[in-house]
Amino acid sequence: MTMPVPRTKFHARYTMAHHDDGYKFKFFCAFCDYHYTTGWIKSESPTEARRLAEAEARINFNGCYQCGRWVCNEHYNIEKMMCVECATHTAR
Ligand SMILES: [Zn+2]
Ligand SMILES: [Zn+2]
């Protein structure tokens, strides 16, 4: 057994937009086109902006304890706390 993936490590696929007012991020489900778009985040640095964006976006995603992917509610099995793919593989 490998160690469970810590929930704090949010790393969904994302795109970033940038203009004078700051940064805006769009995070995607690992399996589908579901995405969450943050508001414009005022920040000097993209790293800091991304940290704030992740804190905001992660509430809308579910982290799989098995593979560590972050997925939307539809691709998450709440009972097993796994994404649907892992939940299917471990089902008996
Ligand atoms: Zn999804
Ligand atoms: Zn998984």
Question: Residue ranges per domain, the chain?
Answer: 13-89
The string over 52-63, giving b where at least 16 C-beta atoms fall within 10 Å of a residue's C-beta and e elsewhere, is bbbeebbebbbb
Scanning the structure block, which residue is given the tokens 């993936």? 5
pLDDT for the residue numbered 90: 79
Please give all residues whose CB falls under 5 A of ion ligand 1, grouped by chain where several chains appear.
29, 31-32, 34, 72, 75
Please give all residues whose CB falls under 5 A of ion ligand 2, grouped by chain where several chains appear.
64, 66-67, 83, 86
**DSSP 8-state code for residue 31:** S
Q: Strand 22-28 vs strand 13-19: parallel, antiparallel, or unpaired? A: antiparallel
Scanning the structure block, which residue is given the tokens 């593989």? 89
Ligand 1 centroid–CA 22 distance in Å is 28
Ligand 1 centroid–CA 3 distance in Å is 24
pLDDT digits (tens, 9 = 90+) for 13-52: 999 999 988 999 999 999 999 999 999 999 989 999 999 9
Residue 3: exposed, middle, or buried by beta-carbon count in 10 A (0-12, 13-18, 19+)? exposed
pLDDT for the residue numbered 8: 56
Q: What's the mean per-residue pLDDT of the chain?
A: 90
